[in-house]
Homo-oligomer: A and B are copies of this chain.
Amino acid sequence: MKMGQGVEWSIHCCALLAVLPPGRTLRLEKIAEFYELPVPYLRKHFQALSRAGLVKTTSGPRGGYRLARDPDQISLLDIYLALEGNEPAFRCGEIRRQGAPACAQKLYPVPCNIATSMWKAEAAWRKELSAVSLIDVVQQAAEQIPQARVEASKAWLEAALD
């Protein structure tokens, strides 16, 4: 089971938008450049983030992106769901209803307990992701990023911002 690369890219890119100075935006091409990502794929991911109400574009010839909500109001789960959708990873095919043992009673009154267990585990996974916001990501990263890289990024951003 593999998550799409768009989740990783989008979390990093949204964390970048979370540190923009108030009122400023960053064009998609510049966001892609910051992480050396291919623009066409990233554009597709940003369209999904936009549809989910996580990012906004400003109008105008130099319209760039900014977060649509405060970064403490955007969780890793929000970003995952924007990119991968709300379908559970485990899909129940109700195979308990089919098969050789002939039986008129094909209707089960309650959901299959196997599916229920699988979905309970997914709920635990989602709960963890919903507890981490972009503010957490930025604060944790600040403790990890080498100072030289922080300075280089600040200088680069200053020139790249709209």
Residues of A within 8 A of B (CB): 1-5, 7-9, 11-12, 15, 33-37, 76, 84, 87, 89-93, 95-96, 98-105, 107-110, 112-118, 120-122, 124-129, 132, 136-137, 140-141, 144-146, 148-149, 152-153, 155-157, 160
Q: How far is the CA of A90 from the CA of B86 in the complex (A)?
A: 17
Contact of A3 among B11, B91, B96 (CB under 8 A): B91
Tell me how many chains of this kind the complex includes: 2
Q: How far is the CA of A160 from the CA of B101 in the complex (A)?
A: 11
B155–A101 CB distance below 8 A: yes
Chain A binding surface, main DSSP class: helix
Given the known interface contacts A2-B91, A36-B100, A125-B122, the answer about A117 and B137 at a Cβ–Cβ threshold of 8 Å is: yes
12 A–B contacts, CB within 8 A, in A order = A1-B4, A1-B89, A2-B89, A5-B93, A8-B115, A12-B114, A33-B100, A96-B141, A105-B146, A117-B136, A122-B125, A124-B125
